[in-house]
């Protein structure tokens, strides 16, 4: 991927929508007008094909111009009608299963059908031990800064990954640590977790390539999306 442009290279602001959470049609229409670069459909708990398909179908219906990607956590929930697929590799998972085991099981069955040019593998480091994804994958989350750096280095230099996702899921991360990662990393860096204000969006967008606004929109509404998009855009002027 190093020689080609990263498929997410122009993404500065992304919204993550959870198929297991409710969102109204009016909000989807507003989301389509918000100016966010893409919607990533995915979650950890209660993810089924039906729920994923329904949300993606409604996105196409109510926000037809939005770029929609699915983040795959279960091979049975894969929905074809998206612009691309994000595939998490949980670098600090407690077992082989969540690093690469499930992927291999899926590839054994569907390997020849994967549209690789529309796939972005994400090297996840989950940093909030209370997050559902951390519990599910048995992630080792109590990591020193040096350890986080080592995970990122291993992902890029040993495995060869070109996208790193620092996931605080539900809590706001430490900008100092994210900055340290940025200094040693040449990957496309994604930050997610606890972005519930313009200030936090700006702070993280100044460091990483892409910020993800997620759960907070279910509390604060699509206003948060519109405001953080505007703030990130003015950063880049």
Contact characters 121-140, a second copy, x per CB under 8 A: x-------------------
Please pick, from the candidates 30, 44, 78, 100, the single residue that binds a second copy as defined by CB under 8 A: 100
Contact call for residue 116 and a second copy (CB under 8 A): yes
Kindly indicate which of the ranges 33-41, 42-50, 103-111, 204-212 contains the residues binding a second copy, using the contact rule CB under 8 A: 103-111
Residues 205 and 13 sit within 8 Å (Cβ to Cβ): yes
d(CA 179, CA 209): 12
Q: Is 160 exposed, middle or buried (0-12, 13-18, 19+ CB in 10 A)?
A: exposed
Q: Which residues contact 182 (CB under 8 A, 6 or more apart)?
A: 189, 207, 208
For residue 205, the minimal CB distance to a second copy (Å) is: 25
Q: Does position 103 bind a second copy by CB under 8 A?
A: yes
Assess contact for 211 and 14: CB atoms under 8 A: yes
- Indicate which single residue of 47, 55, 79, 99 sits in contact with a second copy (rule: CB under 8 A): 99
Closest to 43 (Cα-Cα) out of 219, 218, 229: 218
Q: Contact residues for a second copy (CB under 8 A)?
A: 1-3, 87, 89, 91, 93-96, 99-100, 103-105, 107-108, 111, 114, 116, 119, 121, 144, 146-147, 149-151, 153-154, 157-162
């Amino acid at each position: 991927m190093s020689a080609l442009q990263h498929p997410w290279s122009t993404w500065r602001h992304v919204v993550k929508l959870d198929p297991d959470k409710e969102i109204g049609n009016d909000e989807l229409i507003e989301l389509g007008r918000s100016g966010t670069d893409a919607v990533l459909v995915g979650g950890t708990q209660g993810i089924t094909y039906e729920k994923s398909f329904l949300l993606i179908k409604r996105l196409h219906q109510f926000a037809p111009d939005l770029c929609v990607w699915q983040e795959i956590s279960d091979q049975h929930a894969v929905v074809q009608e998206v612009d691309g697929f994000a595939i998490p590799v949980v670098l600090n998972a407690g077992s082989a299963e969540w690093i690469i085991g499930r992927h291999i099981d899926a590839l054994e069955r569907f390997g020849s059908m994967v549209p690789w040019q529309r796939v972005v593998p994400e090297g996840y480091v989950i940093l909030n031990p209370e997050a559902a994804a951390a519990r599910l994958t048995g992630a080792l989350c109590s990591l020193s800064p040096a350890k986080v750096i080592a995970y990122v280095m291993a992902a890029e230099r040993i495995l060869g990954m070109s996208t790193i996702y620092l996931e605080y899921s539900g809590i706001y991360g430490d900008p100092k640590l994210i900055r340290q990662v940025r200094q040693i990393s040449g990957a496309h860096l994604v930050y997610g977790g606890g972005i519930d204000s313009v200030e936090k969006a700006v702070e993280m967008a100044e460091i990483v390539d892409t910020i993800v606004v997620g759960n907070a929109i279910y509390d604060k509404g699509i206003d948060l999306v519109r405001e953080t998009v505007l703030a990130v855009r003015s950063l880049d002027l």
